[in-house]
Structure 1
């Protein structure tokens, strides 16, 4: 029976027996936690702003359903299809991110969103997965073809994104994209001296952001000097973790959601800590760690540089986003408004993370080694390979 199931040649059948089902199952668990924590956190937030108590829940049901569909459909793509989707997505996201500077919604001094019916979209969210794949393709092509300026073009794309995100401003998003790019350059074999120069440049950039942007300076100073400034949100979040203890106060029994304005988004991890306790928080952390580590271990057996670089960039961005959200809630780093993948409220975030995971699953699907390498190469390389094989035959 198992053998007949494995011989299923339908699209769904081939997908099911080649996709990483462990990672897919972890994504399903995260989406499940997202539904549970929205039921716990969002009614109080909605009531506090005068909206229907079910508003955030109903929206998130739709967002996560769409996210699940994106994960499945994008994971069916070939490496060539992933590259095409990423290139188109990067161009569209760049154009829309530039549009936010002119027609974007201004919230707390930043222009990052475009208003649409029933929701607002943050185009820069989609830059993370698309940028990772596009730069991986450019760097890989630069290694395959000596005359192709892959490194130069990758830096050009990065600089364009840097200028746009600095103008919004969105230093947190820029930091994640910078770390993704640096990880890809390191895995791609960049000289260690240049890697050190890149790290030095990042430190200098953070110092410049500290000087130039008052909100960055305020968050860093409040982190370094806990006795100064307004610490209401982080103090309330820390109290929530303390109140939750090992097993939590129970579903619906938390109090942090009644006091924090972003309990359903930036501080949803604190809601999980108070209502479900330390053990559930450690389980959530374990899921994220499992996805990241499993992906990196799978890449050890991969020969195609495009797949290695793209998957490294995608999983780095995914892991960093989760780390920033949870570390901010635990006061391990300065607070930063970044969502917890699949768990925090947000349409743009859920869909962009779904695209990230879908592309990652597509790139790490099991394929015959020769076929996988052929799919990752441009058509000219495949034709030359085929001709060499025919000559050898």
Structure 2
């Protein structure tokens, strides 16, 4: 695949039924040839090989900023490498009009013994720019990289972050026509990342094409005009970034929640210590996500839906809600009677909501248990597992807060 240019051509990328299949045998044809020379038996055939990209069709026009998302092994990086011309498709067709500049590993081609300034000129020449063209933008590159006087010191004295900023600044200021970025926007601090996204928008506003792979959904929503979700080498969804990222996150949550419950299955279940006594429901509900959610986010308002029943008379019914981390640390322990809530009539069903507004537990896996009591004796219980995640990881330790849950009673109609 060779980039094509015409006098009136603008950047364009088109993929038609593109697939990439890797041989499953170690060493492929070279290994097979070596075994034949040594008189060794050939490796048995085990299928057609590993399908990394499977019949993908895409069309990108000037000015588009495409974000590609998906789990590890979805085929995202392989697809980028084929668009960049670093790998050939096994089948299908790739048409590229415009010079492709790809960033897969920031700083990979930088020379340690050269100064930052000299590296800018070397990298510019690699990108096909003349010294005069580089002269026109070098002050902008230096300012954008924000490394100060270090620009005239050898690269070996730079931190990893400084190298990444210099590499990104060099490439993005040399007028790329089709810019491909594989997670490079995560380089540096939040301020630099925001500056890099703004520069990407500026480049694409001039009719260029930007393609990025990222696991950071806010970055994709903030930067891209279009998003593609890939799984198993195929395109699952292609469209508006907000809609596609929401669908991807919901799918990821469901998969992770199922895996979480399967992993900690022994901690999940219900028991009855007295005939006719049951805890029918113990479910965590998160805002905007109906049904039980085994994965919760610290800072969100969370409610636990609870329903208990007793077909036999209870002399002094009560209920206790507990949450403990799996290492045994208790982080919440509330008696409904202490909270001023009646656990219900001696017989029948009763429903409660246990509100945690907001949820302020630290990240971790927790077991939640609701005990139905009679004269402080457990007559039935139900446990479930939840994982608490944080949207922004804290530094300096793993905090755990004892949460004073507020408890509210409500009629049991429609609870179960």
TM-score range, shorter chain: under 0.3
For normalisation by structure 2, the TM-score amounts to 0.21
- Larger strand proportion, structure 1 or 2? 2
- Larger helix proportion, structure 1 or 2? 1
